[in-house]
Amino acid sequence: MKKVNVAVVGATGLVGSTILKVMAERDFPVAELTLLASERSAGHQLAYRGDMLTVGNLAEASFDGIDIAFFAAGSGISRDHAPRAAQAGALVIDNSSMFRMAPDIPLVVPEVNGDDIPEKGIVANPNCSTIQCMAPLHALKPYGLKRVVYSTYQAVSGSGMKGLRDLDEHKQEFYPYPIQANVLPHIDSFREDGYTGEEHKMINETRKILHLPELPVTATTVRVPVRFGHCVSANVELENAFDLKELVDRLATHEGIVLMDDPAHNVYPMPTMAEGRDEVFVGRVRRDMSVNNGVNLWIVADNVRKGAATNAVQIALKALERMK
Ligand code: NAP
């Protein structure tokens, strides 16, 4: 694979630093690596494969000569800087929600809609809780998806360093209530319709990634006092009758999924085992007896890895494969 010049915006953050980790693990073909963050972190040193690199100030940085630019510094930063990186010729892989629903910008989970990845411009990395549900729903797509009901149990690292600080240091600076020994049915801000921004993201992004713009989807998203690893209970109604064993086989053999489903031996996915892993874990697969063709799934993944950094690096690697 051709070596390329890479920039990571937000390199000091949770997602940015994990992008660097995943790139190193996957032997990403880097020619030159540029690390960027705010003025606060400019001048700090970060290690990449044994080399110490100095973090630059995004506000003063140029993207000339950059082939791939990962953005992981929030929506406002992406709004202000991602277009100039794309104009300079980089393929921008954006972790924020800024461009996800823009009609001309693809939203990609590589093992589901990798063909949507463009050669240049901006490609959006989906919301963390949505990403982990895409391979399982894609595996069930041959039966016809009729309706999806999500209930989530999301780790505090989904809020970045701020969320981890509230849990680890028993603070109440980021969340509106204590997160220790508590559960908050509130992720992102409330909208006029009573849903939160996170719930809207899960609904809209699911439809866009699966290319099913009319799919009925609803969601309740909840923050739990777990450091890493989101869990989603997905209730899925299908158009067609299914054989449960065949459906389970489809899940087990789909790219990116690890099936962990052996209730007799207490085998089911949990955040503690998903942490640090790149796959999506699925268990508790069972028929929904309340409808004709329904199934319940329990889906767990590391929100910072598959839910953000790993998916972003997979998009980049797929784009590079095409450029060969
Ligand atoms: P984080 O840990 O708080 O890191 C934020 C990063 O943005 C830091 O590197 C910070 O640099 C940088 N930054 C802040 N203000 C900046 C500015 N004015 N100019 C340049 N850089 C600036 O947050 P995170 O969790 O990594 O999230 C990053 C992005 O990924 C967000 O858009 C988030 O929504 C998205 N995301 C996060 C997750 C997750 O599970 N955490 C999952 C999916 C998507 P300094 O060190 O200089 O402050």
Digit-coded pLDDT (tens) for 40-80: 999 999 999 999 999 999 999 999 999 999 999 999 999 99
What's the average model confidence in pLDDT over 128-144?
98
pTM: 0.97
Residue 193 near residue 204 (C-beta atoms within 8 A): no
Tokens of 84: 């100039």
One-letter identity of residue 290: S
- Whole-number Å distance between alpha carbons of 214 and 208: 10
* Residue from 75, 80, 95 to probe ligand 1 pocket by mutation (most atoms less than 8 Å from CB): 95
Parallel/antiparallel/unpaired status of strands 51-54 and 45-48: antiparallel
Residue 137 near residue 206 (C-beta atoms within 8 A): yes
* Residue from 8, 34, 38 to probe ligand 1 pocket by mutation (most atoms less than 8 Å from CB): 38
- What was the pLDDT predicted at 296? 99
DSSP character at residue 198: H
Task: Say how many Å lie between the CA of residue 133 and the centre of ligand 1.
Answer: 23
Q: Between the CA of residue 107 and those of 7, 60, 187, 312, what are the distances in Å?
A: 20, 28, 21, 11
pLDDT at 192 over 90: yes
Nearest CA to ligand 1 atom 15: 38
Domains observed in the chain: 4-125+308-322 (3.40.50.720), 129-303 (3.30.360.10)
One-letter identity of residue 237: E
Kindly state the helix (H) or strand (E) to which residue 166 belongs, with its residue range. helix 161-168
78: Cβ–Cβ under 8 A, 6 or more apart, which residues? 71, 94, 95, 96, 98, 99
Output the DSSP codes for 103-152.
TTS-B--HHHHGGG--SSEEEEPPPHHHHHHHHHHHHHGGG-EEEEEEEE
Kindly state the helix (H) or strand (E) to which residue 164 belongs, with its residue range. helix 161-168
- What was the pLDDT predicted at 322? 85
Q: Which atom of ligand 1 is least distant from the CA of 98?
A: 32
Nearest CA to ligand 1 atom 47: 38
Digit-coded pLDDT (tens) for 90-106: 999 999 999 999 999 99
Q: Which atom of ligand 1 is least distant from the CA of 37?
A: 21
Residue 95 near residue 70 (C-beta atoms within 8 A): yes
Q: Which atom of ligand 1 is least distant from the CA of 161?
A: 2
64: Cβ–Cβ under 8 A, 6 or more apart, which residues? 88, 89
Nearest CA to ligand 1 atom 14: 73
Question: Catalytic residue positions?
Answer: 128, 230
* Residue from 15, 188, 278 to probe ligand 1 pocket by mutation (most atoms less than 8 Å from CB): 15
Parallel/antiparallel/unpaired status of strands 230-238 and 294-301: antiparallel
How many other CB atoms are there within 10 angstroms of residue 195's CB atom? 18
φ, ψ at 304 (rounded to 5°): -85, -30
Q: Which atom of ligand 1 is least distant from the CA of 40?
A: 47
Nearest CA to ligand 1 atom 4: 13
pLDDT at 324 over 80: no
What's the average model confidence in pLDDT over 226-243?
98
Q: What angle do CA 154, 134, 149 make, to 5 degrees?
A: 65
Nearest CA to ligand 1 atom 17: 38
Residues with CB under 6 A from ligand 1: 10-16, 37-38, 40-41, 58, 72-75, 77, 95-96, 128, 157-158, 160-161, 303-304, 307-308
Strands in 145-206 per DSSP E: 145-153
